[in-house]
Amino acid sequence: MRIKAIALFFCFLLPANTSFAQEIDKVLLRGYDAALVIYNRTTGETINIGPVRSSQRLSPCSTFKIYNTLIGLELALIKGVDEPWYHWDGVKRGIEGWNQDLTLREAFKVSAVPAYQTLARDIGEIRMKEYVEKIGYGSKDISAGIDIFWLSRPDTTSIKISADEQVALLNKLLDGKLPFSEKNVAILRDIMQAEKTDKGTLYGKTGSGMGPDGKGNLGWFVGFLENNGKTYVFACNILGGENPSGKTARTIIENIFKSQNLL
């Protein structure tokens, strides 16, 4: 992979002059301390706005649901995308969309932590560890607990992964080099679809972390974009600024692609 500066990123996507590209980049990142990696699977070019930040390992938060889903499908713990799956335990939680029975599609869309905690417990520590090792997921450390290791918690040590590693894993997934069947990867693609326009289709998963004060301190959005026969794999995480979240990271990615007429 050839790594180029962010100024070349925009020139590479669209024939814009370098100074203009740098200016819109600053605006689109909205003042956050961002890691942003975009890999063009057609040309093999990698665009990285900050190699130090993109190599920094952080809690994956709910982006781990990508692989939690695939493992659950491989082990036949999830029967179908629109079949009844998660049965609400009756405990009222702060996100209303979690307080009901959910299909896989619904649980993924609302990022239902209780549903995926139940799935992780059903997978079990031994099988989860085997899959995490097989796919080479970040630090591969699930010792914090089978149903919390991917969450950002101030009092536990979760598994950690960098933006670089997120992109590398997604590339392997799309290449069919991870231990998941084509059928299950197709199911994942279906539920990962985040936006579709006449220009392109965006697939992704958000993730958000909170500090001890209950305020957001980390936002992720990872996935890929398909546009006119080309595929761009991306990972973005944001720190600092005002309430960084997965929703904000997704907005940043969407705005970058839309500014380049790709979405």
Among candidates 207, 205, 195, which has minimal Cα distance to 262? 195
CA 252, CA 246: separation in Å to the nearest integer? 10
Report residue 196 as tokens: 């579709």
- What distance in Å separates the CA atoms of residue 57 and residue 75, rounded to the nearest whole number? 28
Helix (H, G, I), strand (E, B) or coil at 111: coil
Q: What are phi and psi of 224, to 5 degrees?
A: -155, 155
**Mind giving me the DSSP string for 18-70?**
HHHHHHHHHHHTTT-EEEEEEEETTT-EEEES-HHHHT--B--GGGGHHHHHH
Check if the beta carbon of residue 41 is closer than 8 Å to that of residue 171.
yes
What's the farthest any 2 CA atoms get from each other in the chain?
56
Residues assigned a catalytic role? 62
What are the phi and psi torsion angles at 246 (to 5°)?
-65, -35
